[in-house]
């Protein structure tokens, strides 16, 4: 699985003009399940995100995790993280997991993250969503459970 993580002061997701998920200080997490990913990939990625030390401590250093700060998370499905842009001008997305598998792994990730302590809100899988955020720092981190190149 792949994730693009943004430290935020706030974030929200809107579908059809209605806010369906939001968080205060914490993380906005864009997630993509890849072909061949299994439940263990979602669990591994959730644990890594929860423990990633990207929040400031008392000295202003990035030394605290989402769990340490008690922050929340907004988890959004984002199949375009699987984009292959190596040739041509149109990205290919065949490396993304099929929709049914992708949705199951997306839900598994959100549940696994919530089980580790953070309050987790989600978007709507497969929907056209508008995501609003205030990036804090800015801090943006790319993670891949398989550590693909």
Closest by CA position to 132, among listed 32, 47, 40, 9: 9
Question: Distance between CA 43 and CA 102 in Å, rounded?
Answer: 14
- Indicate which residue of 80, 93, 130, 140 is catalytic: 80
> Could you confirm whether 109 is annotated as catalytic?
no
Closest by CA position to 82, among listed 67, 69, 68, 98: 98
> Could you confirm whether 35 is annotated as catalytic?
no
DSSP letter (8 states) at residue 59? T
**φ/ψ of residue 35, rounded to 5:** -50, 135
- Indicate which residue of 14, 23, 79, 109 is catalytic: 79
User: How far is CA 149 from each of CA 2, 77, 109, 142, rounded to the nearest angstrom?
Assistant: 12, 21, 22, 12
- Indicate which residue of 55, 78, 109, 122 is catalytic: 78
> Could you confirm whether 80 is annotated as catalytic?
yes
- E strand or H helix that includes residue 138: strand 130-144
What is the set of active-site residues?
A: 78-80
């Amino acid at each position: 699985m792949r994730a693009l993580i943004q430290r935020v002061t706030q974030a929200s997701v809107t579908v059809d003009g209605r806010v369906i998920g939001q968080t205060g200080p914490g993380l906005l997490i864009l997630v993509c399940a890849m072909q061949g990913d299994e439940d263990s990939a979602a669990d591994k990625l959730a644990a890594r995100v929860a423990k990633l030390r990207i929040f400031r401590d008392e000295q202003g250093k990035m030394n605290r995790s989402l769990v340490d700060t008690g922050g929340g998370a907004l988890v959004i499905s984002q199949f375009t993280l699987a984009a292959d842009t190596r040739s041509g001008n149109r990205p290919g997305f065949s490396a993304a997991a099929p929709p049914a598998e992708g949705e199951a792994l997306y839900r598994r990730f959100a549940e696994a993250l919530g089980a580790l302590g953070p309050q987790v809100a989600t978007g709507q899988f497969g929907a056209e969503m508008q995501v609003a955020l205030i990036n804090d720092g800015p801090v943006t981190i790319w993670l891949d459970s398989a550590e693909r190149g």
